[in-house]
Amino acid sequence: MCKILRMMLMMTAAILSTAAMAFDHDYAVYGEALKKHVRWTAGGNSSVVDYAALKRDPAALRTSLSTFSAVDKVDFQRWHPDQQQAFLINAYNAFTLELILSRYPDLQSIRDLGSLLSSPWKQSFFALLGEQRSLDWIEHQQLRPRYHDARIHFAVNCASIGCPALRPEPYRAASLDAQLTDQQRRFLSDRSRNRFNASRGVLSVSSIFKWYGEDFTADNKGLEAWLASQASLLADKPVDQARIAKGQFKLEYLSYDWTLNASGGQR
Tens of pLDDT, residue by residue over 18-39, are: 433 589 999 999 999 999 999 9
**How many Cβ atoms are within 10 Å of 61's Cβ, its own excluded?**
23
Please provide the DSSP assignment of 66-114 as one string: HHHHT--HHHHHHS-HHHHHHHHHHHHHHHHHHHHHTTTTS-SBGGGG-
Question: pLDDT digits over 41-67, tens only?
Answer: 999 999 999 999 999 999 999 999 999
CB-based contact 196:203 (threshold 8 Å) = yes
How do residues 142-153 score in pLDDT, each as one tens digit?
A: 999 999 999 999
Phi-psi group of 235: left, alpha or beta (phi > 0 → left; psi -120 to 50 → alpha; rest → beta): beta
Q: Is the pLDDT of residue 5 over 90?
A: no
pLDDT at 116: 73
Strands 202-205 and 195-197: antiparallel
Provide mean pLDDT across the span 94-118.
Answer: 94
Q: What is the mean pLDDT of residues 237-255?
A: 98
Question: Residue 3: what pLDDT?
Answer: 55
DSSP string for 205-258: E-THHHHSGGGG-BTTB-HHHHHHHTHHHH-SSHHHHHHHHTT--EEEEPPP--
3 state DSSP class of 48: strand
Say whether pLDDT at 7 is over 60: no
Alpha-carbon span 69 to 63, nearest angstrom: 10
